[in-house]
Chains A and B, each alone.
Chain A
Amino acid sequence: MSEPKRVGLFVTCLVDLFRPSVGFAAVRLLEAAGCEVTVPSVQTCCGQPAYNSGDSADTRDIARGVVRAFRDFDYVVAPSGSCAGMIVKHYPELFRDDPAMAAEAEELAGRTHELVSFLTDVCGVTSVPGKYDGTVTYHDSCSGLRELKVKQQPRALLATVDGLDLRELPGAETCCGFGGTFCVKYADVSVEIVGRKSADIRASGADALLAGDMGCLLNMAGRLKREGSDIEVRHVAEVLAGMLNQPAIGDGQS
């Protein structure tokens, strides 16, 4: 048997703070795929809030910390297309005037992946531990979709989950209106956009909504719950890993 892949898990701040279950689901999936998972304790955030607000000096400082924290792994994996996209697409760009750092950022970018696409494309995973009894629909989060081309991978793995019926979401590739700091800076517009998304989610007829990014999930769950919907909202990793003990996002202890 070959050496296990040494994976550094980039938890992402939203999973770390709001939904640790997603982190544990990611660990279970990675370990099931034969990876040795480490979670460097010096990690915080990828820097997107600062980056998207035009604060590039702070972003560079944060990015340097991430580069340092994840030097020693074969791969860096994040349960988020947005944060992985930040590292893969934007870190090299951030250091374009600093050749030494740019080279390090490029090197990190080359071994950084979004969780689900890592499982399928790098680990060759074709079956997962999860079982699910019900109909789900899946929203393609923008960064994962457009920056990292995550589209078929989650669908392929969801298709292997026992009992799960995947129903395509109308407008699955349309933004949910989260947009990081956009959702509070332009709250009215953000709410209008997520309102349209929630109408599409309801129209899908699914019992549950899945996606691969906590930001979008908090936004869509928050809107669905405000509308009184009982559609369950979960990160796709929870379903793939079969870790459904935690109440769904925005649902209370019943």
Chain B
Amino acid sequence: MQPTSHAFKQNAKRAMVDTPLQESLRRLETGFTAARQAAADGLPEFEDLRDEARGIKNHVLEHLDLYLERFESRVTEKGGQVHWCETPRDARNAILEICRKVGARTVTKGKSMVAEEIALNPFLEENGIEPVETDLGEYIIQLADEPPSHIIGPAVHKTKDQVSDLFHEHHQKYGKTERIEEPEALVAEAREILRQKYFDADVGITGANFLIAETGSTVIVTNEGNGDLTQMLPRIHIVVASLEKIVPTLEDVSTILRVLARSATGQEMSVYTTFSTGPKRPEDLDGPDEFHVVLLDNGRSEMLGTELQELLRCIRCGACMNHCPVYHAVGGHTYGWVYPGPIGAALDPHLIGLEEARHLPNASTFCGRCEEVCPMRIPLPKIMRHWREQAFEHHVSPSPERFAIRLWAAIAKRPMLYHLGTRIAMAVLGRLGRRRGRFASLPLAGGWTGGRDLPAPEGRTFQAMWAARGGRTGR
């Protein structure tokens, strides 16, 4: 997708007056935060599991080459094939080539953020292949021609009414002319239509939550079972995954799974956890004839050994955005690219460039709640601060902002100047504001006073009063 991150402020303005979106965001905020809290409280060893999960990923990141090579050799032994792809273009081409070899016209897709990252759907369409999203949320936004607004709930911004409208509009061609509203009926209609697509598809593409070096397996977690049908029914199964999804063993996966769903939706486990190992064997009843893993780097190996390495622990649970006050206010589309919320604010500048993504790491209050709930304990605010430093250093930050900060810093470094300047300024402001106790507007403070008053200062500074009454100043 073409990023609109540079327009964060305009995007935010639109989002904040979008009533259905705001309704959805309210539901998300109350629903997900309460569910995660209950799940965390219900498991006494939850905090220890987080530490263990972090340890597993840290270990992998120190030995990524080793585990990736082991994964590839296991996949090959089982009859599958790994395609190493440095760029999104490489990954798209690898997928297209596999599709072309079997003359694919239709591919079904399980939910995959990496497929979004490489903008797979428009590419397949340009090449005459129809991609059909089978995750209900992805299916809804595919109909709406929108990108996902949340990494685990792609259509979390849509209300039930909007879904009714979309189905009514797009399902006419299947003879569904009645507008339905009941959630169960909506799900049943989508299921009925998708069912045929599974049989029509030549290729099924899924993402992966984990790649297991020990066995060469790929793992997806879903709540709908769509992933299983996507990868079992077509002749070809393509897994598209970024390389940091690797974990050493099945045992490690079971540890991380215990924090994944709890952090994401508050479930103990997702409804389906599916392991795929190679193509169908002679004794298997089901399964694809071919099994491909398209392994994407897209700048991730450059993150190793840098401030950004810790981001590679991310298991895409979405807890950071579920708990982010900014995400709650503006929703996922405002961030303007594939990964929204705190993880996007920390990751997107690397993937799409700091110039384009400049607002994202800045549009955070640094409240720290994302880090508090991140199952992998990724220091998201610290990484956002890293980007702010980069932006400041390379003059990506706007000049008026830089000027104001440098001016304040110059004063803060000179106590005499600080005392003199602040005494005069506070005396003036204090006098002007004494009667009402606040300002409804003030020159240069429009940002503040647009939606709130500015409380007036008392008039004298504490330090002046302290000195006047002879308090100890240590000098």
Q: Is there contact, CB below 8 Å, between B366 and A19?
A: no
Known: A44-B415, A53-B388. A193 touches B409 (CB 8 A): no
State how many angstroms separate the Cβ of B427 from the closest Cβ of chain A. 11
B164 at the interface (CB under 8 A from A): no
Q: Is there contact, CB below 8 Å, between A222 and B455?
A: yes
Q: Is there contact, CB below 8 Å, between A250 and B329?
A: no
A173 to B34, CA, bound (A): 13
Q: Closest B-chain residue to A56, C-beta based?
A: B389
Query: Could you say which residues of chain A place their CB within 8 Å of the CB of B188?
Result: none
Q: Is there contact, CB below 8 Å, between B462 and A43?
A: no
Q: Is there contact, CB below 8 Å, between B462 and A24?
A: yes
State how many angstroms separate the Cβ of A60 from the closest Cβ of chain B. 10
Query: Could you say which residues of chain B place their CB within 8 Å of the CB of A182?
Result: 362-366
Instruction: Name the interface residues of A95-121: CB closer than 8 Å to any CB of B.
Output: none
Stretch at the interface among B48-56, B113-121, B342-350, B444-452: B444-452
Query: Could you say which residues of chain A place their CB within 8 Å of the CB of B436?
Result: 252
Neighbour of A38 across the interface among B367, B388, B474, CB < 8 A: B474
State how many angstroms separate the Cβ of A13 from the closest Cβ of chain B. 8
Q: Closest B-chain residue to A214, C-beta based?
A: B455
B173 at the interface (CB under 8 A from A): no
A10-26 contact mask (Cβ, 8 Å, vs B): 1 or 0: 01010111111111100
B430-441 contact mask (Cβ, 8 Å, vs A): 1 or 0: 000011111010
Q: Is there contact, CB below 8 Å, between A222 and B413?
A: no
B272 at the interface (CB under 8 A from A): no
A183-214 contact mask (Cβ, 8 Å, vs B): 1 or 0: 11111111111111000000000000000000
Neighbour of B462 across the interface among A16, A50, A177, CB < 8 A: A16
Neighbour of A191 across the interface among B362, B368, B426, B450, CB < 8 A: B450
Q: Is there contact, CB below 8 Å, between A49 and B405?
A: yes
Query: Could you say which residues of chain A place their CB within 8 Å of the CB of B451?
Result: 187-188, 190-191, 194-195, 223, 226
A34 at the interface (CB under 8 A from B): no
Q: Is there contact, CB below 8 Å, between A179 and B364?
A: yes
Q: Is there contact, CB below 8 Å, between B463 and A11?
A: yes
State how many angstroms separate the Cβ of A222 from the closest Cβ of chain B. 4
State how many angstroms separate the Cβ of B74 from the closest Cβ of chain A. 40
Query: Could you say which residues of chain A place their CB within 8 Å of the CB of B371?
Result: 146
Query: Could you say which residues of chain B place their CB within 8 Å of the CB of A187?
Result: 446-448, 450-451
Counting chain B CB atoms within 10 Å of each CB, which of A18, A50, A51, A181 scores highest? A18
Q: Is there contact, CB below 8 Å, between A250 and B450?
A: no
Query: Could you say which residues of chain A place their CB within 8 Å of the CB of B391?
Result: 54
Q: Is there contact, CB below 8 Å, between B452 and A219?
A: yes
State how many angstroms separate the Cβ of B220 from the closest Cβ of chain A. 33
Q: Is there contact, CB below 8 Å, between A41 and B362?
A: no
State how many angstroms separate the Cβ of B353 from the closest Cβ of chain A. 16
A49 to B326, CA, bound (A): 19
State how many angstroms separate the Cβ of B354 from the closest Cβ of chain A. 11
Neighbour of A49 across the interface among B9, B408, B453, B466, CB < 8 A: B408
Q: Closest B-chain residue to A222, C-beta based?
A: B452
A129 at the interface (CB under 8 A from B): no
Query: Could you say which residues of chain B place their CB within 8 Å of the CB of A43?
Result: 415, 463
State how many angstroms separate the Cβ of A160 from the closest Cβ of chain B. 26
A169 at the interface (CB under 8 A from B): no
A152 at the interface (CB under 8 A from B): no
Q: How many A-B residue pairs have CB under 8 A?
A: 249
Q: Is there contact, CB below 8 Å, between B411 and A44?
A: yes
Q: Is there contact, CB below 8 Å, between A55 and B435?
A: no
Neighbour of B418 across the interface among A44, A175, A183, CB < 8 A: A44
Q: Is there contact, CB below 8 Å, between B452 and A194?
A: yes
Q: Closest B-chain residue to A223, C-beta based?
A: B452
A8 to B24, CA, bound (A): 49
A13 to B325, CA, bound (A): 26
A40 at the interface (CB under 8 A from B): yes
Q: Is there contact, CB below 8 Å, between B461 and A16?
A: yes
B399-416 contact mask (Cβ, 8 Å, vs A): 1 or 0: 001100110111111110
Q: Closest A-chain residue to B423, C-beta based?
A: A17
Known: A58-B405, A192-B329, A252-B435. A186 touches B363 (CB 8 A): yes
State how many angstroms separate the Cβ of B8 from the closest Cβ of chain A. 8
State how many angstroms separate the Cβ of A115 from the closest Cβ of chain B. 14
B457 at the interface (CB under 8 A from A): yes
Query: Could you say which residues of chain A place their CB within 8 Å of the CB of B368?
Result: 142-143, 146-147
Q: Is there contact, CB below 8 Å, between B462 and A189?
A: no
A177 to B472, CA, bound (A): 36
Query: Could you say which residues of chain A place their CB within 8 Å of the CB of B411?
Result: 44
Counting chain A CB atoms within 10 Å of each CB, which of B397, B447, B449, B455 scores highest? B455
Q: Is there contact, CB below 8 Å, between B409 and A62?
A: yes
Counting chain B CB atoms within 10 Å of each CB, which of A183, A190, A247 scores highest? A190
A97 to B440, CA, bound (A): 45
Q: Closest B-chain residue to A186, C-beta based?
A: B363
Instruction: Name the interface residues of A33-69: CB closer than 8 Å to any CB of B.
Output: 36-45, 47, 49-56, 58-59, 61-62, 65
A-B contact pairs, 11 of them (CB 8 A): A17-B426, A20-B465, A40-B473, A41-B419, A44-B413, A58-B410, A65-B412, A192-B16, A221-B438, A225-B437, A252-B438
| Smallest CB-CB A-B distances: 4 pairs | A179-B365, A191-B451, A54-B392, A54-B388
Q: Could you tell me which B residues sit within 8 Å of A by CB distance?
A: 9, 12-13, 16, 325-326, 328-330, 362-369, 371-372, 385, 387-393, 397, 401-402, 405-406, 408-415, 418-419, 422, 425-426, 434-438, 440, 445-458, 460-463, 465-467, 471-475
Q: Could you tell me which A residues sit within 8 Å of B by CB distance?
A: 8, 11, 13, 15-24, 27, 36-45, 47, 49-56, 58-59, 61-62, 65, 72, 142-143, 146-147, 173-175, 177-196, 218-219, 221-223, 225-226, 246-247, 249-253
